[in-house]
Amino acid sequence: MDSKSTVEKGGLGRTLRNRNFRLLLLGSLSSAVGYSAGTIVFQWYIYNATHSPLAIGAFAIVEFLPTLAFGLFAGVLADRFNRQRIMVSADLCRTAALAALAVFVWLAGLNVVLILLVVGVVASFTALFRPASQALLPTIVPDRSLADANGLLQSGGTTSSLIGYSLGGTLVAVAGLVAALALDSASFAISAILLLALTLPSVSRAPTPTTKGTKRQGSGLLEGFRYIRKQDALFLMMLTAGVGSFLFPIWETYLVVYVASGLHLGPLYLGVLLGVLALCAGLGALACGRLPTQERPGVWAATSWGVSGVGIAALALLPPFTIALMLVGMSTFIGQLGYTAWLTCVQRTTPNNLLGRVLSTETTVSWALFPVAQVLGAILLSNIGIPMTYLLVGVDSAFGGFVLLASKSVWNWGRTDN
């Protein structure tokens, strides 16, 4: 009993003593700083150059479209090839793309179309990187440390984003786009160097070697979906994320419009708001390992997503900035807590040779309606205004979470209390 208590209390320290995990964490911190700084600079420059919500929607679509286009294929690669090499290659390609854009802007000036093109390239390699990274984690930390490892990775990344968002807002006013792009490019280069230093077991280097009897990539694309379809709770959660709450991504994408046109505030306020969003997301992820979320992960996830939607709906009141900060913080904290509980359970219960495809399939299906949601968000903002748009998003998101509680399979999914 004493030994068990000691292990539980020392979970974060035990996870941080894992060399491979430390390298993965440091790489995540590095890239998160640069990426978030670049994001806020891109959003601010594009919106102020066009003064159109549709332009912000186009930015969001370009950023996420590669997930839909390459997501399933990325999962196959993550399950068939060396996950470490996939991650390093993706980082190096992102480094080169952002460095090239920085040079172009320095020599020829700002070009919104070129920015969107490079954002698409970076997002494409991010789509390849994500399933490999998430599928790699269970091979470098034991099951009992997965929740803490996910929490540390996400909290570390979002805390670094807090720095990046603040830095990005400052760079807009002081140094300009080139400095932000240079920082973003360097951050991915540092991440690649750290990932190269990983020493991994053979299972993570080659999860499913191809032999003559092995199905090739065409049929492998559907293996993740077939597995999810057999898991009732996982299938329901995927459908709910993809259809039942497809408006959810709007609220974060259009925060720049919410701040500039709804609250009538400037870029530094946007930076603070996004910083609080990042900080609370990190705290929510970290809280997952401190709470009994793995006893009933489905219930924790569904309830958290529902409560998060309630907080988003409250933003429709256009409250004072301090109240808006608290609502954004609460919604993000509880939403990220639920996501981390869900991700940890998927990693814990899915066979390693299918994990990349399961994660990429869920991501692809969940975000399938993302481009439609972004266009709809711009139309809603232009026609019914900011308050009604955020009210619709919040109600839709709350319904998408709470409706899952009606399913017995969600209540029993991955439970460890029996």
Q: What does the pLDDT look like over 174-202, one tens digit per residue? A: 766 777 778 778 888 998 999 998 887 65
DSSP tag of 406: G
Predicted confidence (pLDDT) at residue 140 exceeds the cutoff of 50 = yes
Least confident stretch, 45-59, 229-243, 343-357: 45-59
Round to the nearest angstrom and report the end-to-end CA distance of the chain: 18
Write down the pLDDT at residue 214.
41
Write down the pLDDT at residue 208.
47
**pLDDT band at 2; cut points 50, 70, 90:** very low
Write down the pLDDT at residue 242.
65
Residue bearing the bigger pLDDT, 406 or 362: 406
Predicted confidence (pLDDT) at residue 330 exceeds the cutoff of 90 = yes
Question: For residue 99, which of 169, 196, 162, 192 has the smallest C-alpha distance?
Answer: 192
Which of 36-40, 67-71, 80-84, 237-241 shows the highest mean pLDDT?
A: 80-84
In whole angstroms, give the CA distance from residue 184 to residue 168. 10
Residue bearing the bigger pLDDT, 209 or 407: 407
Q: Tell me the per-residue pLDDT of 104-128, one tens digit each, with 9 for 90 and over.
A: 878 877 777 888 888 888 888 888 8
**pLDDT band at 310; cut points 50, 70, 90:** very high
HEC readout, 287-351: HHCCCCCCCCHHHHHHHHHHHHHHHHHHHHHCCCHHHHHHHHHHHHHHHHHHHHHHHHHHHHHCC
Give the SS3 label for residue 10: coil
**pLDDT band at 148; cut points 50, 70, 90:** confident
C-alpha to C-alpha distances, 322 to 230, 250, 257, 276, 283, nearest whole angstrom: 46, 21, 17, 11, 19
Predicted confidence (pLDDT) at residue 170 exceeds the cutoff of 80 = no
Write down the pLDDT at residue 184.
78
Write down the pLDDT at residue 326.
92
Contact, 149 vs 141, CB < 8 A? yes
In whole angstroms, give the CA distance from residue 282 to residue 290. 13
Within 13 A of 143's CA, how many CA atoms are on the CB side? Answer: 10
Question: For residue 262, which of 168, 384, 85, 114 has the smallest C-alpha distance?
Answer: 384
Predicted confidence (pLDDT) at residue 328 exceeds the cutoff of 50 = yes
Write down the pLDDT at residue 71.
72
Write down the pLDDT at residue 49.
73
Task: Name the residue ranges covered by the structural domains of the chain.
Answer: 12-204+225-412
In whole angstroms, give the CA distance from residue 216 to residue 296. 36
Instruction: Tell me how far the alpha carbon of residue 7 is from its chain's centroid.
Output: 29
Write down the pLDDT at residue 314.
92
Predicted confidence (pLDDT) at residue 275 exceeds the cutoff of 90 = no
Write down the pLDDT at residue 131.
85
Cα-based torsion angle of the residue sequence 119, 122, 128, 132 in order, rounded to the nearest 10 degrees: -120
Write down the pLDDT at residue 172.
65
Write down the pLDDT at residue 202.
58
**pLDDT band at 417; cut points 50, 70, 90:** low
Residue bearing the bigger pLDDT, 330 or 416: 330
Enumerate helices (H) and strands (E) in the chain, giving the number of each: 21, 0
Instruction: Provide the whole-model pTM.
Output: 0.72
Radius of gyration in angstroms for the set of CA atoms belonging to the chain, rounded to a whole number: 21
Q: Tell me the per-residue pLDDT of 55-74, one tens digit each, with 9 for 90 and over.
A: 777 777 787 777 777 777 88
Write down the pLDDT at residue 245.
62
Predicted confidence (pLDDT) at residue 9 exceeds the cutoff of 50 = no
Predicted confidence (pLDDT) at residue 51 exceeds the cutoff of 70 = yes
Q: Which residue has the tokens 């830095």?
A: 167
Predicted confidence (pLDDT) at residue 18 exceeds the cutoff of 80 = yes
Q: What is the mean pLDDT of the chain?
A: 79
Predicted confidence (pLDDT) at residue 333 exceeds the cutoff of 90 = yes
Helix (H) or strand (E) holding 369: none
Contact, 87 vs 140, CB < 8 A? no
Mean pLDDT of 88-93: 92
In whole angstroms, give the CA distance from residue 334 to residue 357. 27
CATH placement of domain 12-204+225-412:
1.20.1250.20
Mean pLDDT of 122-142: 85
